[in-house]
Structure 1
Amino acid sequence: MIPAIPAEFDRHRLLLLYKGDISALTLFAQQANGSVCFPQPLPALSAALDDDSGAAATLTIHPATLVKAITKLMGFEADLLQAEAGYRQAVDTPGGIVTVYIARFKLLDPPHRLLQSLDCRLRTLPELRGRPPAEMDLLRRAYETMMEG
């Protein structure tokens, strides 16, 4: 189980993903509660905003700071994750705008056992169908970003 959530994540979340360099296999980490947002789910009634809405235009915290915080929170090795450039999505929530970034596992093979030990799983995009609309929008955009990059 994930311990207390650091303040950095009041207005920010991370999608944790694995992308194979050779096969382009893309897997998203999913928590036991079903959410793909780390370290906590988005609130109910959240909606991903359009890229051109301007809501995420201002960088409030560097994604590397979030990667460092999630690494510590989840007990990962210091160099396991890296912030993925080119992905920043704004989500409108009842409590205000939340900005979502990607953290990518820097491994040759998917970290299935590591995530299972944290009560999380790695899932393909089709396996995640049925998640709330905001999460599905974030996943779709993350997948597109990873395939283009």
Structure 2
Amino acid sequence: MIESLADPFQNHRLLLFYKGDISALTLFLQQASGSVFFPEPLPPLSEALEEDEDAPAGKVSVHPAMLLSTANQTLQLDNDLLRIEAGFAEQVDAPGGVITVYMARFTLLDPPHLLMESRNCKFRTLPELRGRPPAEMELLRRAYVKMMEG
């Protein structure tokens, strides 16, 4: 079955973050709903697949650039504010099928707090996000490790 291109996020999500090049300050963008995934939270009962576990094959995937373009339109952002972070594509086993999560990084020198607050979103540190569902916390951990290694 080929997923619909009308809804590229059906089986994909973006994790948006800011990382300071000098200070290494790391912030994740959180929606008013509490989720750190865009455009919508992971479904209830989702579980992060083990890092060495392959997801079932058979679906055509959407390129992360298309997801980024959709996120920019949804959040009304200029196309140069975010870029896909290469090498991060984590998979989640969800009730509706496997969801692939990509990361996109804000390219500004400083986090755009006011801009994102006007979009009902806030930047949060990893400790501020404690208490999120287990799948979200595991993906945040993996994202943080990826950022610190890269």
User: Taking structure 2 as the reference length, what is the TM-score of the superposition?
Assistant: 0.92
Report the counterpart of residue 73 of structure 2 in structure 1.
Answer: 72
Report the counterpart of residue 3 of structure 2 in structure 1.
Answer: none
CA contact (8 A) 1:56 1:99 kept: no
How far does residue 29 in structure 1 lie from its aligned partner after superposition?
Answer: 0.3
Q: Distance in 2 between matches of 1:100 and 1:84?
A: 11
Indicate the SS of the match to 1:88.
strand
The structure whose residues are more often helix, as a share, is: 1
How far does residue 72 in structure 1 lie from its aligned partner after superposition?
Answer: 1.0
Q: Distance in 2 between matches of 1:59 and 1:22?
A: 39
CA contact (8 A) 1:90 1:97 kept: yes
How far does residue 63 in structure 1 lie from its aligned partner after superposition?
Answer: 1.1
Q: Determine if the alignment matches structure 1 residue 55 to structure 2 residue 55.
A: yes
Report the counterpart of residue 111 of structure 1 in structure 2.
Answer: 112
Q: Distance in 1 between matches of 2:84 and 2:53?
A: 23
| Structure 1 stretches of at least 4 aligned residues deviating more than 2 Å after TM superposition | 56-59
How far does residue 59 in structure 1 lie from its aligned partner after superposition?
Answer: 7.3
How far does residue 8 in structure 1 lie from its aligned partner after superposition?
Answer: 0.5
How far does residue 78 in structure 1 lie from its aligned partner after superposition?
Answer: 1.2
Q: Distance in 2 between matches of 1:32 and 1:56?
A: 32
Identity among equivalent positions (%) equals: 62
Report the counterpart of residue 23 of structure 1 in structure 2.
Answer: 23
Q: Determine if the alignment matches structure 1 residue 35 to structure 2 residue 35.
A: yes
Report the counterpart of residue 3 of structure 1 in structure 2.
Answer: none
Q: Determine if the alignment matches structure 1 residue 97 to structure 2 residue 98.
A: yes
Change (3 A) 1:76 1:48: same
Q: Distance in 2 between matches of 1:36 and 1:71?
A: 16
Q: Distance in 1 between matches of 2:64 and 2:19?
A: 18
What letter corresponds to residue 47 of structure 1 in structure 2? E
How far does residue 53 in structure 1 lie from its aligned partner after superposition?
Answer: 0.9
Paired residues, number: 144
What letter corresponds to residue 27 of structure 1 in structure 2? L
